[in-house]
Amino acid sequence: MQQETSTSAGLMNRFEVTKRIVGMLKAEEAVIGGIGNTNFDLWATGQRPQNFYMLGSMGLAFPIALGVALAQPERNVVALEGDGSLLMQVGCLATIAMVAPTNLKMIVFDNGMYQITGGQKAATGFGADLIAMARGAGLAECAWAADENDLEEKFARALATPGPFLIGVPTDGKKAVATTDRDPPRLRESFMRGIGAK
């Protein structure tokens, strides 16, 4: 894939992108949403029973998704994460590259900041390139999306092609459009039923 930095590409909106991604899911794919805005916007796209919303454990959206992917290898698992969160658990990219699950498709929303805690600039706002880091971790299929159409193309290919994928989404500074329910056992129950584990 072509490499492009987040600063040279156009900024996309997290809610709009999440809506498009969820709209492309036709096979009861699991979706794991990371802490804060990421799962708030996932929630706002409609509460699919196959969605899991993480209320703490910052940085664990990709690891949780890896666990789901290993347990249910026949189901595609989509993971949505923020750049600050991925920076916190960036080692997980090396683990994922090593395990190479066929069914894990990851998206990172890079707004260059820790938006939900007040918009403090993250290292990604100073040039840290998460897609380059992922490539360095051994993930072959990783790229920045240039715009919404490019993103749809890349995501469609990820869904149709075995192997772990990471797509970087240069993201604007708009707030999330809703908040999730805050009842962890209920969120977990609903997810487990949604993916046939209960």
Ligand X SMILES: Cc1ncc(C[n+]2csc(CCOP(=O)(O)OP(=O)(O)O)c2C)c(N)n1
Sorted by sequence, the CB contacts under 8 Å of residue 24 that are 6+ apart come out as 152, 155, 156, 159
Q: Could you give the C-alpha distances from 36 to 15, 174, 180, in angstroms and in order? A: 13, 13, 9
Tell me if 86 contacts other proteins by CB under 8 A: no
Tell me if 116 contacts ligand X by CB under 6 A: yes
CB 133 to other proteins: min, Å? 13
Site size for ligand X (CB under 6 A): 16
Q: Select from 56-64, 109-117, 140-148, 152-160 the region that touches other proteins (CB under 8 A).
A: 56-64
Q: Could you give the C-alpha distances from 58 to 22, 73, 97, 116, 118, in angstroms and in order? A: 22, 25, 20, 12, 16
Q: Select from 25-33, 116-124, 152-160, 179-187 the region that touches ligand X (CB under 6 A).
A: 116-124
Distance between first and last Cα of the chain = 39
Residue located via tokens 């290292």: 123
Q: How far apart are CA 172 and CA 153, in angstroms?
A: 20
Tell me if 37 contacts ligand X by CB under 6 A: yes
Residues of this chain, 75-94, that bind ligand X according to CB under 6 A? 82-85
- Cβ proximity to ligand X: between 38 and 190 the closer is 38
Tell me if 100 contacts other proteins by CB under 8 A: no
Q: How far apart are CA 101 and CA 73, in angstroms?
A: 8
CB atoms within 10 A of CB 126: 8
CB 111 to other proteins: min, Å? 23
CB 144 to ligand X: min, Å? 16
Which residues contact other proteins by CB under 8 A?
30, 32, 52, 54-60, 62-72, 89, 91-92, 94-95, 98-99, 184-185, 187-188, 191-192, 195-197
Which residues contact ligand X by CB under 6 A?
35-38, 58, 82-85, 111, 113-117, 122
